[in-house]
Chain A
Amino acid sequence: MIRNYLKIAWRSLLKNKVFTLLNIIGLSVAFGAAILLSMAGFFDLSFDKFHENGDAIYKVFSIWQNPKGQQVSESHGVPLMPTIKKEVPGIEKATRHLEEEVIISYGEKEINMEVSWVDSDFFSMFTFPVVKGKMENPLEKRSDIVLTEEMAQVLFGEENAVGKTVQALVDGKDKPYNISAVVANIPENSSIDFEVAMRFEEEASYQENIDAWNSRYHSVYLQLSKNMAPGQFDPATRSLIDINFAERIASAKRDGALPDTDGRFYRFELLPLEDENFVRFKNGALEVLRSGPFLVLGIALLILFIACVNFINMSVAQSGQRLKEIGMRKTLGAKRKQLFFQFWNESLLVFLVSLGIGAFLSVLLLEQFKTIFDTKVSFDVIMTPTIILFFAVAVILITLLVGGYPALLLSKLGTLQSLKGKIELSGENRVRDTLMVVQFSIAILLITGTLVLRSQLDFMRNKDLGFNKEQVVSFPMDGKKNSYDALDLLRHELAGNPDILEISGADNNLGYGKDGSVSKSVFGFEYKNRVINTHYLTVDYDYVETLDLELVAGRNFSRDYSSDRSGVVINEAMAKEFGEKDPLTAYISFNDSIRFPVIGVVKDYHFEELDKTIQPISMMMSRDYPLFYAYVKVAPKNIAKSFDAIENAWAKIEPNAEFLGSFLDENVNRTFRKEEKINTMITSGSIIAIVLSCIGLFAISLLIVTQRTKEIGVRKVIGASVANITFLLTKDFLKLVLISFLIASPIAWWFMDEWLQNYPFKIDLSIWFFLASGMLATIIALLTISAKTIKAASQNPVKSLRTE
Chain B
Amino acid sequence: MLLQLNNIFKWVNSGGQRIFLLKDINLEVQEGEFISVMGPSGSGKSTLLNVIGMLDGFEEGEYHFLDESVHNLREKHRANLYKEYIGFVFQQYHLLDDLTVQENLEMPLLYKKLKGAERKAKVADMLDRFNIVGKKDLFPAQLSGGQQQLVGIARALISNPKLILADEPTGNLNSKQGEEIMDLFKQLNEEGVTIIQVTHSEKNAAYGSRIINLLDGRMI
Residues of A within 8 A of B (CB): 1, 4, 7-8, 11-12, 15, 324-325, 327-335, 338, 415-416, 419
Q: Which residues in B have their C-beta under 8 angstroms from that of A324?
A: 94
Q: Which residues in B have their C-beta under 8 angstroms from that of A334?
A: 111
**Complex Cα gap A415–B103 (Å):** 21
Q: Find out whether the CB atom of B112 lies under 8 angstroms from the CB atom of A333.
A: yes
Q: Find out whether the CB atom of B55 lies under 8 angstroms from the CB atom of A332.
A: no
Task: Give B131 Cβ to nearest chain A Cβ, in Å.
Answer: 22
Contact of B111 among A327, A332, A415 (CB under 8 A): A332
Digit string of B108-122 for contact with A (CB within 8 Å is 1, else 0)?
101111000000000
> Of residues 28 to 78 in B, which have CB atoms within 8 Å of A's CB atoms?
50, 53, 55-56, 76
**Complex Cα gap A293–B199 (Å):** 70
Q: Find out whether the CB atom of A4 lies under 8 angstroms from the CB atom of B110.
A: yes
**Complex Cα gap A330–B111 (Å):** 10
Residue of B50, B53, B99, B110 ringed by the most chain A CB atoms within 10 A: B110
Contact of B98 among A11, A331, A332 (CB under 8 A): A11
Digit string of B73-116 for contact with A (CB within 8 Å is 1, else 0)?
00010010011000010100011111100010011101111000
Q: A11-B98, A419-B94 are in contact. Are A331 and B55 (CB under 8 A)?
A: yes
Q: Which residues in A have their C-beta under 8 angstroms from that of B96?
A: 325, 328-329
**Complex Cα gap A416–B75 (Å):** 14
Q: Which residues in B have their C-beta under 8 angstroms from that of A327?
A: 94
Contact of A1 among B50, B53, B83, B110 (CB under 8 A): B110
**Complex Cα gap A419–B166 (Å):** 15
Q: A333-B79, A334-B111 are in contact. Are A12 and B94 (CB under 8 A)?
A: no
Task: Give A386 Cβ to nearest chain B Cβ, in Å.
Answer: 40
**Complex Cα gap A573–B106 (Å):** 88
Residues of B within 8 A of A (CB): 50, 53, 55-56, 76, 79, 82-83, 88, 90, 94-99, 103, 106-108, 110-113, 155, 159
Task: Give B71 Cβ to nearest chain A Cβ, in Å.
Answer: 17
Q: Find out whether the CB atom of B50 lies under 8 angstroms from the CB atom of A332.
A: no
Q: Find out whether the CB atom of B94 lies under 8 angstroms from the CB atom of A333.
A: no
Q: Find out whether the CB atom of B83 lies under 8 angstroms from the CB atom of A416.
A: no
Contact of A416 among B50, B95, B108 (CB under 8 A): B50
Contact of B155 among A330, A332, A335, A338 (CB under 8 A): A332
Q: Find out whether the CB atom of B55 lies under 8 angstroms from the CB atom of A338.
A: no
Task: Give A412 Cβ to nearest chain B Cβ, in Å.
Answer: 11
Q: Which residues in A have their C-beta under 8 angstroms from that of B107?
A: 329, 332
Q: Find out whether the CB atom of B99 lies under 8 angstroms from the CB atom of A332.
A: no
Task: Give B158 Cβ to nearest chain A Cβ, in Å.
Answer: 10
Q: Can you list 6 A-B contacts (CB < 8 A)?
A: A328-B94, A328-B96, A329-B107, A332-B88, A338-B111, A416-B50
**Complex Cα gap A415–B78 (Å):** 13
Q: Which residues in A have their C-beta under 8 angstroms from that of B103?
A: 4, 7
**Complex Cα gap A324–B98 (Å):** 12
Q: Find out whether the CB atom of A415 lies under 8 angstroms from the CB atom of B108.
A: no
**Complex Cα gap A8–B97 (Å):** 11
**Complex Cα gap A7–B113 (Å):** 17
Contact of B108 among A8, A11, A15, A332 (CB under 8 A): A332
Contact of A333 among B56, B97, B108 (CB under 8 A): B108
Q: A1-B110, A8-B99 are in contact. Are A335 and B79 (CB under 8 A)?
A: yes
**Complex Cα gap A437–B155 (Å):** 45
Q: Which residues in B have their C-beta under 8 angstroms from that of A338?
A: 111
Q: Find out whether the CB atom of B111 lies under 8 angstroms from the CB atom of A331.
A: no
Q: Find out whether the CB atom of A333 lies under 8 angstroms from the CB atom of B98.
A: no
Q: Find out whether the CB atom of B88 lies under 8 angstroms from the CB atom of A333.
A: no
**Complex Cα gap A15–B106 (Å):** 21
Q: Which residues in B have their C-beta under 8 angstroms from that of A328?
A: 94-96
Q: Find out whether the CB atom of B50 lies under 8 angstroms from the CB atom of A333.
A: no
Q: Find out whether the CB atom of B98 lies under 8 angstroms from the CB atom of A8.
A: yes
By beta carbon, the residue of chain A nearest B75 is A336
The 9 closest A-B pairs by CB, nearest first: A333-B83, A333-B111, A11-B98, A332-B108, A328-B94, A416-B55, A331-B88, A334-B111, A415-B55
By beta carbon, the residue of chain A nearest B108 is A332
By beta carbon, the residue of chain B nearest A10 is B98
Q: Which residues in B have their C-beta under 8 angstroms from that of A330?
A: 79
Contact of B56 among A1, A4, A329, A416 (CB under 8 A): A416
**Complex Cα gap A11–B103 (Å):** 13
Residue of B76, B79, B98, B113 ringed by the most chain A CB atoms within 10 A: B98
**Complex Cα gap A419–B53 (Å):** 14
Task: Give B73 Cβ to nearest chain A Cβ, in Å.
Answer: 15
Q: Which residues in A have their C-beta under 8 angstroms from that of B82?
A: 331, 333
Residue of A12, A328, A330 ringed by the most chain B CB atoms within 10 A: A328
Q: Find out whether the CB atom of B112 lies under 8 angstroms from the CB atom of A12.
A: no
Q: Given contacts A7-B103, A15-B98, A332-B107, could you give 14 more A-B pairs where the C-beta distance is less than 8 Å?
A: A1-B110, A4-B103, A12-B98, A324-B94, A327-B94, A328-B94, A332-B83, A333-B108, A333-B111, A334-B111, A338-B111, A415-B55, A419-B55, A419-B90
Q: Which residues in A have their C-beta under 8 angstroms from that of B79?
A: 330, 333, 335
**Complex Cα gap A8–B50 (Å):** 28
Q: Which residues in A have their C-beta under 8 angstroms from that of B159?
A: 333
**Complex Cα gap A415–B95 (Å):** 15
Q: Which residues in A have their C-beta under 8 angstroms from that of B98?
A: 8, 11-12, 15, 325
Task: Give B130 Cβ to nearest chain A Cβ, in Å.
Answer: 17
Q: Which residues in B have their C-beta under 8 angstroms from that of A11?
A: 98-99
Task: Give A29 Cβ to nearest chain B Cβ, in Å.
Answer: 28
Task: Give B172 Cβ to nearest chain A Cβ, in Å.
Answer: 15
By beta carbon, the residue of chain B nearest A4 is B110
Task: Give A603 Cβ to nearest chain B Cβ, in Å.
Answer: 78
Q: Which residues in B have their C-beta under 8 angstroms from that of A12?
A: 98
**Complex Cα gap A327–B53 (Å):** 13
Task: Give A540 Cβ to nearest chain B Cβ, in Å.
Answer: 83
**Complex Cα gap A11–B96 (Å):** 12
By beta carbon, the residue of chain A nearest B76 is A335
Q: A416-B50, A416-B56 are in contact. Are A335 and B94 (CB under 8 A)?
A: no
Task: Give B102 Cβ to nearest chain A Cβ, in Å.
Answer: 12
**Complex Cα gap A510–B76 (Å):** 77
Q: Which residues in B have their C-beta under 8 angstroms from that of A15?
A: 98
**Complex Cα gap A324–B140 (Å):** 14
By beta carbon, the residue of chain B nearest A3 is B116
By beta carbon, the residue of chain A nearest B83 is A333
Task: Give B76 Cβ to nearest chain A Cβ, in Å.
Answer: 8
Q: Which residues in A have their C-beta under 8 angstroms from that of B90?
A: 419
Q: Which residues in B have their C-beta under 8 angstroms from that of A1?
A: 110, 113
**Complex Cα gap A328–B94 (Å):** 6
Q: Which residues in B have their C-beta under 8 angstroms from that of A416?
A: 50, 55-56
Task: Give A423 Cβ to nearest chain B Cβ, in Å.
Answer: 15
**Complex Cα gap A331–B50 (Å):** 11
**Complex Cα gap A604–B103 (Å):** 84
**Complex Cα gap A212–B55 (Å):** 93
**Complex Cα gap A12–B103 (Å):** 14
Q: Which residues in A have their C-beta under 8 angstroms from that of B108?
A: 332-333
**Complex Cα gap A617–B16 (Å):** 87
By beta carbon, the residue of chain B nearest A11 is B98
Q: Which residues in B have their C-beta under 8 angstroms from that of A335?
A: 76, 79, 111
**Complex Cα gap A537–B50 (Å):** 94
**Complex Cα gap A397–B19 (Å):** 47
Q: Which residues in A have their C-beta under 8 angstroms from that of B55?
A: 331, 415-416, 419
Q: Which residues in B have their C-beta under 8 angstroms from that of A4?
A: 103, 106, 110
By beta carbon, the residue of chain B nearest A421 is B92
Task: Give B142 Cβ to nearest chain A Cβ, in Å.
Answer: 15
**Complex Cα gap A113–B151 (Å):** 83
**Complex Cα gap A328–B111 (Å):** 12
Q: Which residues in A have their C-beta under 8 angstroms from that of B95?
A: 328
**Complex Cα gap A335–B112 (Å):** 10
**Complex Cα gap A330–B95 (Å):** 13
By beta carbon, the residue of chain B nearest A327 is B94
